[in-house]
Structure 1
Amino acid sequence: MLIDHWPLRGLRLTTDRLVLRLPDEQELSALADLAAGGVHKAGERPFLTPWTDLPPAERARYVLQGYWSCLGSWTPDDWALDLGVVQGDQPIGFVTLRAREFATLREVKTSSWLGLAHHGQGLGTEARTALLHLAFEGLGAEAALSEAFQDNLGSQGVSRKLGYLPDGISRDVLHGEVVISDRLRLTRENWQQVDRRPVEISGLDSCREFFLAADGAGGAER
């Protein structure tokens, strides 16, 4: 079976309303359709890589190719875990947990998007909470990092709810203009003080080596 060769297929993060997991082909197609339909309001530009400026069909392909690329380039020293966010039996978005040299640095970065119809319901916070639970409680992370444009109120709000603190700024170029992002950092100490929804992890022990070098020691499933 595929899961015997790629045990990440069995990893599940479960919250009150959501399940985060690697999508199957049908779910991946639904997520591509969702991206084609829009993931933010017209006029907003929440991503440094302006993939949402693409025409709908190209946005869909971007999601597919990005997902496949992350799987194909995976190593324990450089990985990006793209999980579909499923509510009931409906895929509603993607979240990503990524790291380099995690066994040494113990730091992760997160990013996410939800279909526009699923905004404003607390689902983004719930999905990010699940990712952070995997990072801190499952894998033994010491810090989680995030970056958001200063006018990206949704992402900034989620970060504040979850205990992130300012960590400087980044200056980049988007469409020929300087854009400024706030860098945000969530430490293990602050995470442990956050009042948050419960999360259940399953399937981690069988794929732990995918996240950590052979001599790395992670957390435990909870």
Structure 2
Amino acid sequence: MSLEEIWPPYALTITCGNMTLSPVRDSDLPELAALAAGGVQTHPGAFIVDWDQGTAEDVARSLATFHWRTRAATSPEKWTLELTVRVDGEAVGVQSAGARAFAERRTVATGSWLSRKHQGRGIGTRMRQVIAVTCFDRFGARELVTSYFEGNSSSRRVSEKVGYVDNGSLIDVSASGTHVGREYSMLLTPDRLIRPDDEVTVAGAEVVAEFLQLPTAPRAREE
């Protein structure tokens, strides 16, 4: 059996111009760890999950264990796809999309991080446009949600460029417990999505849909 047969999400490849998104593989981890060690947050406390803190070794191990744990917990009832984002073949960050009870709710939560040296070039906006197009057009999502921690205005601006609108807030605590602040939620529907200039092509969508038992899976359509 191939690795894609053992773990079907690996069959997924999303392309938009010179950008590609594909599920994080173990072979991607050293490159992603080096990116993350160079800094991700614009300032301490910008993320609700402050995994990029500590030594380079701390960051690398936190990153690796997070991806292994996320992969192991994936099921049709609750899933998260963590995708390595590459521009001209170079890794620049990670885009995630996840859902709980997707067959009933059709809601996908998105999140992302981009290395500091690649920020401010429109890459963050485009990678989020690409995952939104994929979720709406190929996975059958009705809405996408995202959130940002108080003070992370750059994340808010990127969300607005994609078409997200405000959707409430609550007081939350960072994963380490070192920062307390307001977490703002944002909502995106298909009619509000601002699509990228280049076409989004998706390979392996039906394989992933069948593995996750999405309503867009071939078997689901037959039923």
**What's the TM-score, normalizing by structure 1?**
0.89
Alignment-derived partner of residue 35 in structure 1: 36
1:135–1:141 contact (8 Å) kept in structure 2: yes
Tell me the percent identity. Answer: 29
- Unpaired runs of 5+ residues, structure 1, are none
Residues 195/128 of structure 1: CA separation in 2 closer, same or farther (3 Å cut):
closer
Letter of the aligned partner of 1:12 in structure 2? T
SS of structure 2 residue aligned to 1:52: coil
Alignment-derived partner of residue 173 in structure 2: 173
Alignment-derived partner of residue 7 in structure 1: 8
**CA distance in 2: counterparts of 1:13 and 1:39, whole angstroms:** 23
* CA positional deviation for 1:177: 5.3
* CA positional deviation for 1:44: 3.5
Whether 1:23 aligns to 2:17 is no
Alignment-derived partner of residue 57 in structure 1: 57
Alignment-derived partner of residue 221 in structure 2: none
Residues 203/176 of structure 1: CA separation in 2 closer, same or farther (3 Å cut):
closer
Whether 1:116 aligns to 2:113 is no
Letter of the aligned partner of 2:6 in structure 1? H
**CA distance in 1: counterparts of 2:178 and 2:7, whole angstroms:** 41
Instruction: Provide the alpha-carbon RMSD of the alignment.
Output: 1.8
**CA distance in 2: counterparts of 1:74 and 1:14, whole angstroms:** 23
* CA positional deviation for 1:16: 1.4
2:209–2:216 contact (8 Å) kept in structure 1: no
* CA positional deviation for 1:185: 0.5
1:76–1:209 contact (8 Å) kept in structure 2: no
Letter of the aligned partner of 1:98 in structure 2? G
String of CA shifts for 1:163-209, please: whole Å, max 9, x gaps: 11111112112446530121110112222xx2433211111112212
SS of structure 2 residue aligned to 1:208: helix
1:164–1:186 contact (8 Å) kept in structure 2: yes
Question: After superposition, where does 1:1-222 map in structure 2 within 5 Å?
Answer: 1-41=2-42, 43-174=43-174, 175=177, 178-191=180-193, 194-197=194-197, 198-212=199-213, 216-217=215-216
* Greater alpha carbon shift after TM alignment, 103-112 vs 86-95: 86-95
**What's the TM-score, normalizing by structure 2?**
0.89
SS of structure 2 residue aligned to 1:131: helix
SS of structure 2 residue aligned to 1:53: coil
Letter of the aligned partner of 1:36 in structure 2? A
Residues 91/177 of structure 1: CA separation in 2 closer, same or farther (3 Å cut):
closer
SS of structure 1 residue aligned to 2:208: helix
Residues 218/135 of structure 1: CA separation in 2 closer, same or farther (3 Å cut):
farther
1:168–1:184 contact (8 Å) kept in structure 2: yes
4+ residue runs over 6 A deviation: none
2:45–2:179 contact (8 Å) kept in structure 1: no
* CA positional deviation for 1:69: 1.1
